Amino acid sequence: MVALSPRSLGQELLGRRVALRPLRVGDYRDWLEVRTRAREWLVHWEPRRAGGQYPAEDRSSFAARCAMRDRDRQLGTAYSFGIFVDRTFVGEINLSSIQRGASQSAYLGYWIDEAHAGRDYVPESCVVVFAFAFDELELHRVQVAIIPRNRPSRRVVEKLGLVEEGLARGYLEIDGVWEDHVRYAITAEDWAERRETYEADWLRPAGA
Ligand SMILES: CC(C)(COP(=O)(O)OP(=O)(O)OC[C@H]1O[C@@H](n2cnc3c(N)ncnc32)[C@H](O)[C@@H]1OP(=O)(O)O)[C@@H](O)C(=O)NCCC(=O)NCCS
């Protein structure tokens, strides 16, 4: 069992430009504003879940979601973060389905507001989460699964040099369809080998 520091349980993880922290009920208005504006941008890449409906976005559902994620964090089963740039909420990144035992693995998922896309904020956030996953949680493997036609998301993992491991058929329900996904992964050995480069390229202030 990994001993978690107060930082792990919470609170803020910093990249060069991004700050990652768990969402709180007080973030609801900002979150809803982005989700409403970016709905068409996001809807084709997200699950619908319950009864084929899109997840509810009212305040009480958001509060329940924050509470559930706090509980996951306490249990060590998932760590979910809002992505903030200059204190503005721009997206989310989640380390989920954490398996311990012989696996020591997790899945990484992410999205960003269309208005902030194309500025490398998500790859930077991924590196922040890799540092957390490997150095603090001591996981051995972080996996990302992507629908083959999602070129922007594949660019994210390509930029980070994640290894493509093949196609998983009917892997996740996305927008009501069981979609095949290309699986990518980074292991603790990859992280140890490339940590310096990742930190220089994505985390330290430019020129530091
Ligand atoms: C995939 C996603 C998270 C990438 O985040 P990001 O911070 O924009 O990532 P990057 O800045 O590295 O951009 C990745 C690629 O997106 C493409 N892109 C950039 N701006 C774009 C825009 N406004 N619209 C569409 N694609 C764009 C470019 O091909 C870019 O690659 P490049 O930097 O080599 O030109 C983001 O596009 C997104 O949230 N999409 C909708 C939800 C989603 O697909 N989630 C992932 C599911 S696996």
Segment 9-47, tens digit of pLDDT: 557 999 999 999 999 999 999 999 999 999 999 999 999
Angstrom distance (rounded) from CA 203 to CA 97: 26
Q: Is the distance from the beta carbon of residue 7 to the nearest atom of ligand 1 less than 6 Å?
A: no
Nearest to 191 by CA among 134, 150, 148: 134
Give, in order, the Cα–Cα distances in Å from 112 to each of 39, 121, 174. Answer: 11, 8, 17
- The confidence band for 1, taking pLDDT boundaries of 50, 70 and 90, is very low
CA atoms within 13 A on the CB side of 44: 7
Question: How confident is the model at residue 52, as a pLDDT?
Answer: 66
AA letter at 118: G
Question: How confident is the model at residue 56, as a pLDDT?
Answer: 79
101 C-beta neighbours (distance < 10 Å), count: 6
Whether 138 is covered by a domain: the verdict is yes
Whether 126 is covered by a domain: the verdict is yes
Distance 111 CA to ligand 1 centre (A): 9
Segment 94-116, tens digit of pLDDT: 999 999 999 999 999 999 999 99
Provide the 3-class DSSP secondary structure of residue 11.
coil
Nearest to 13 by CA among 157, 154, 184, 129: 129
Whether 160 is covered by a domain: the verdict is yes
Whether 73 is covered by a domain: the verdict is yes
AA letter at 144: V
Segment 128-152, tens digit of pLDDT: 999 999 999 999 999 999 999 999 9
Whether 118 is covered by a domain: the verdict is yes
Residue 147: domain span: 13-203
Structure pTM?
Answer: 0.94
Contacts of 57 by beta carbon, 8 Å cutoff, 6+ apart: 32, 35, 36
Segment 173-194, tens digit of pLDDT: 999 999 999 999 999 999 999 9
For the chain, what is the domain count? 1
For the residues of 82-93, what is the DSSP string, one character each?
A: EEEETTEEEEEE
Whether 7 is covered by a domain: the verdict is no
Whether 133 is covered by a domain: the verdict is yes
Q: Choose one of 37, 41, 111, 126 to mutate for the ligand 1 pocket test, by most ligand atoms within 8 angstroms of C-beta.
A: 111
Q: Angle at Cα 45 formed by Cα 44 and Cα 51, nearest 5°? A: 75
Residue 66 tokens, joined? 């924050």
Angstrom distance (rounded) from CA 19 to CA 40: 25
CA-nearest residue for atom 12, ligand 1, is 120
Whether 56 is covered by a domain: the verdict is yes
CA-nearest residue for atom 25, ligand 1, is 152
Question: How confident is the model at residue 38, as a pLDDT?
Answer: 93
Segment 50-87, tens digit of pLDDT: 666 677 789 999 999 999 999 999 999 999 999 999 99
Angstrom distance (rounded) from CA 170 to CA 185: 19
* Domain at 120, CATH number: 3.40.630.30
